[in-house]
Amino acid sequence: MKNVMITKHITLNLTAEDWDLYTSMENVEYVAKDLNTHISNIFNISRPEEAAEAFEAAKHVLEMYSEFGAADTEPYAVLRELHEAFFKDELHTESERV
């Protein structure tokens, strides 16, 4: 169809506990909100063929909040799960090409 664009959109509302951050730290819920905002923005502006770059950019966001535990193994696992869910069609296509 001409002049039609269909897109995906992700909205994240994960808590500090969902992200598996250091929940005893002050302001950790604000960190969770920042992670939600920045990572969803990265995914939403990325084209399907930019899935790998989007993951690297999102990892950088986690690293920015490492003092809250965001760069630990568990938050990376959450990010990987979100990334695979959002970009699953492109990731599946990529693996078929190899």
Query: Which tens digit of pLDDT belongs to each residue from 51-86?
Result: 999 999 999 999 999 999 999 999 999 999 999 999
**What distance lies between CA 33 and its chain's CA centroid?**
12
Nearest-10 Cα torsion for 17, 14, 82, 39: -110
DSSP state for residue 4 in the 8-state scheme: -
> CA geometry: angle at 45 spanning 42 and 50, to 5°?
80
Q: How far apart are CA 51 and CA 93, in angstroms?
A: 11
**pLDDT more than 90, % of the chain:** 80
Tokens 């003092």 sit at which residue?
67
The amino acid sitting at 93 is T
Q: How far apart are CA 54 and CA 85, in angstroms?
A: 13
